Amino acid sequence: MRWSNQLAQLCVCASVLLVPFTAQAASEDDPWESVNRPIYQFNDFVDTYALKPIAQGYEFVTPQFLEDGIHNMFRNVGDVTNLANNVLQAKPAAAGVDTARLIFNTTFGLLGFFDVGTKMGLQRSDEDFGQTLGYWGVGSGPYVMLPLLGPSTLRDAPSKFVDSYTGPYPYINDVPVRNSVFGLNIVDTRASLLSAEKLINGDKYIFIRNAYLQNREFKVKDGHVEDDF
């Protein structure tokens, strides 16, 4: 459920105001709601009774500087995905910033534990293959709720498989190490959402759907979204 960043949180805040106006429009993008809702309920059950308590415990016992450092390290690895997709989107300036961030954060930032790139004015991108397809004109398609992985679309769901090859997991041969890193990444991601989820009200399924779709449109269009209201 990887829409945990400042932009995503801003979109969640915005959707508090926009849900009454967008619920009808969003439902047109969700023709599979009768299937998506039960999957969401399953995800919510797993999150409520397993993932969220683990994330809360992790946040409670982990010193803030260490939690921030671990989060920065995963973001540093994620810059590889940002770089690959900025290249595919023919954005040389953004790709250059991604490259510089990787170099400085991996070296001076001790494998990304410290985000020295941001302090140097190198702002982090947030790109993935779903956005790359959208950049080149591929429509999002219907909204899809994936088991355990959360909200997506028909375009974005298979794109996760492509993006997986720019991550570390296919290249870690030691299974226990790979699973441990993967698990820590999930817990870190969920912990980063603990404060943002307090903004959710009303029908959680509709709220999350609208926030996700608005956030994806914002990202694909690089923030150039027309105001329809």
Confidence of residue 227 (pLDDT cuts 50, 70, 90): low
pLDDT for residue 9: 43
Identify the CA nearest to 67 among candidates 77, 52, 78, 56: 56
Contacts of 101 (CB under 8 A, 6+ apart): 76, 79, 117, 118, 122, 124
The chain-wide mean pLDDT, for the chain, equals 89
pLDDT in tens, 169-178: 999 999 999 9
Higher pLDDT: 9 or 41? It is 41
Q: How far apart are CA 117 and CA 138, in angstroms?
A: 32
Q: Tell me the CA distances in angstroms from 171 to 103, 149, 165, 174, one per residue in order.
A: 20, 21, 9, 9
The residues spanned by each domain of the chain are: 6-220
pLDDT score of 6: 40
Please tell me the distance from the alpha carbon of residue 188 to that of residue 74, in angstroms, as a whole number: 9
Is the distance from CB of 86 to CB of 130 less than 8 angstroms?
no
CA nearest neighbour of 143 among 216, 204, 209: 209
Which pLDDT score, from 0 to 100, does residue 226 have?
66
The pTM score is 0.84
- pLDDT exceeds 80 at position 71: yes
Query: With 90 as the cut, is the pLDDT of residue 25 above it?
Result: no
DSSP code at position 37: H
- Residues 111-156 have pLDDT tens digits of 999 999 999 999 999 999 999 999 999 999 999 999 999 999 999 9
Q: Name, in order, each residue with C-beta under 8 angstroms of 69's C-beta and a sequence gap of 6 or more.
A: 113, 114
